[in-house]
Every structure is written in structure tokens, then in C-alpha cells.
């Protein structure tokens, strides 16, 4: 996985005055954690927006503060403008590469389920991410789940079926469902027959009225 590195500078401007920073092409952010108090920083908006696009919460981001202090971090929150989607602020959690931490890792469904093609099964999804514990360097960006094993209606994949990753402990309940193949919804025969029967008198009545005229 390619390392993501962002250049940052400490900032004294806080509160509503950060709007001026944004007008200058800067992105306000804060870094905290691992014996580090909340430290306001600013990033280049263009570089940060491009580098952080699609970055998962379990992916390490190295923040170089004032050109000297390279701090490994995880993204804890990205604030965006609700209308434009423009990035407004980022919270970084500073971590130690020698201390285990907990993080949420997304589930990535890959491939196709034979049950869908062969039996018109409906795929019902459950857990979209799981909580794990590991050293920061062992954190996976995502965990891939191959749908090819879902061959019959009723087949499913649970947390307990996830691949074993070196140095990573999955904390989410192993019985939680990730994906399940269910039968297609078909209207009961009784309902179809009732619908057909209820339509017959209308046709007969229309026929009688036409004959009367």
C-alpha cells in the first residue's frame, strides 16, 4: 500500500477566522492523541483533498508537521459542506506504531454469487465493516469477501468466515451476518387465483350491459 504523506503547518488561527484560511487555499485540521494535545494545523487544500479522497478510516496517513515531525495518524472525521461536498475540516488521530489500537475496517464484496445467476436469489447484506485490533502497521485498508462461495439459496457469510489476517484480531461478534442468499419473492398461488376470480364478474357485467344496449 502506497504511503500517504501530507505536509502541514501549525496554525494559531482558530474559530470563525479559519474561513480566511480556506479563502487562501488552506484546509484547517487538528491532530490529537498519543500523548499529544489537540494541535491545530493547516494543509494545502488541493493536495489534501486529492490525497484523502476515498481513504479509509483504517488507512495510515503520515502528517509531517512544520517539515520535521512526521506523525503517523488515522483519519477520525472529515467534515464537508452539506451542499457542495467540499472538504472543510479534518480530524487526525496520532498513533504509535508500537501500540495496538482498535479501528473499524470496511468489508469489500468482490466477485459474483452463483446463487443469483442460477436461482435468482436475492442478496441481503448485513455488516459493512468490522472492528479490529492490531498494530497500526498491520491495519488492513479493507477486508475482501469473495461472493463465489454463495452457491445455494440459504448460503451466507458471517464474521466468523472472514479470512485470518496476520496480526489482526477481529472483535465484532463472529455470528454477525455479512451477506445472505434468500429466495426471490413470489406471490402466493392463492392470491393470484383470487385476483383472477375477482376480475371475472367485471368482464361479465360489462358484457351484459353492452347486450342490454
CATH number at residue 138: 2.170.120.20
What tens digit of pLDDT does each residue of 29-41 get?
999 987 778 899 9
Residues with Cβ within 8 Å of 205's Cβ and at least 6 positions away in sequence, in order, are none
On whether both 109 and 176 belong to a single domain, the answer is yes
* 49 lies in the same domain as 120: no
Grid cell at residue 86? 467540499
Task: Give a yes or no: residue 199 inside a domain.
Answer: no
Residue 187 pLDDT = 52
What's the predicted TM-score (pTM) here?
0.76
Same domain flag for 72 and 114? no
- Residues 148, 86, single domain; the answer is no
Which of 61, 95, 129 finishes a domain? 95
Tell me, yes or no, whether 191 lies in a domain: no
In this predicted structure, which of 114-123, 142-151, 204-213 has the lowest mean pLDDT? 204-213
Handedness of CA 42, 45, 48, 52 (dihedral sign): positive
pLDDT of residue 133: 96
Task: Let me know if residue 204 belongs to a domain.
Answer: no
Residue 202: is its pLDDT beyond 50? no
CATH code for position 11: 2.40.240.10
In this prediction, residue 57 carries a pLDDT of 87
Query: Confidence band (pLDDT; 50, 70, 90) for 194?
Result: low
pLDDT surpassing 70 at residue 192: no
> Which is more confident, 213 or 191?
191
Question: Is the model's pLDDT at 102 over the cut of 70?
Answer: yes
How much helix, strand and coil, in percent to the nearest 5, is found in the chain? 25, 40, 35
144 plus 168 within the same structural domain: yes
Tell me: do 88 and 123 sit in the same domain.
no
Last-in-domain residue among 95, 127, 162: 95
Predicted confidence (pLDDT) at residue 209 exceeds the cutoff of 70: no
Mean pLDDT estimate for the chain: 86
The structural domain count of the chain equals 2
Distance of CA 145 to the CA centre of its chain: 14
Give residue 108's domain range: 102-182
> In which residue are the cell numbers 503520515 written?
62
Q: By mean pLDDT, which of 53-57, 152-156, 180-184, 209-213 is the weakest?
A: 209-213
Q: Span 1-9, mean pLDDT?
A: 85
pLDDT at 39: 92
Closest listed residue to residue 56, CA positions, set 132, 146, 125: 132
Q: What is the pLDDT of residues 109-130, one digit of tens each?
A: 999 999 999 999 999 999 999 9
Amino acid at each position: 500500500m502506497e504511503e500517504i504523506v501530507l505536509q502541514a503547518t501549525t496554525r494559531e488561527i482558530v474559530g470563525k477566522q479559519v474561513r480566511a484560511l480556506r479563502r487562501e487555499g488552506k484546509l484547517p485540521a487538528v491532530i490529537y492523541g498519543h500523548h499529544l494535545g489537540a494541535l491545530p494545523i493547516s494543509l494545502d487544500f488541493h493536495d489534501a483533498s486529492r490525497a484523502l479522497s476515498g481513504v479509509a478510516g483504517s488507512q495510515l496517513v503520515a502528517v509531517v508537521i512544520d517539515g520535521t515531525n512526521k506523525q503517523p495518524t488515522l483519519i477520525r472525521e472529515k467534515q464537508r459542506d452539506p451542499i457542495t461536498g467540499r472538504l472543510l475540516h479534518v480530524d487526525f488521530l496520532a498513533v504509535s506504531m508500537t501500540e495496538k489500537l482498535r479501528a473499524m475496517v470496511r468489508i469489500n464484496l468482490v466477485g459474483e454469487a452463483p446463487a443469483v445467476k442460477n436461482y435468482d436469489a436475492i442478496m441481503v447484506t448485513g455488516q459493512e465493516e468490522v472492528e479490529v485490533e492490531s498494530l497500526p502497521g498491520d491495519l488492513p485498508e479493507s477486508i475482501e469477501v469473495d461472493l463465489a462461495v454463495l452457491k445455494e439459496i440459504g448460503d451466507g457469510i458471517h464474521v466468523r468466515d472472514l479470512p485470518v489476517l496476520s496480526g489482526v484480531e477481529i472483535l465484532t461478534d463472529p455470528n454477525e451476518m455479512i451477506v445472505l442468499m434468500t429466495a426471490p419473492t413470489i406471490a402466493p398461488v392463492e392470491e393470484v387465483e383470487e385476483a383472477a376470480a375477482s376480475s371475472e364478474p367485471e368482464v361479465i357485467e360489462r358484457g351484459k350491459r353492452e347486450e342490454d344496449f
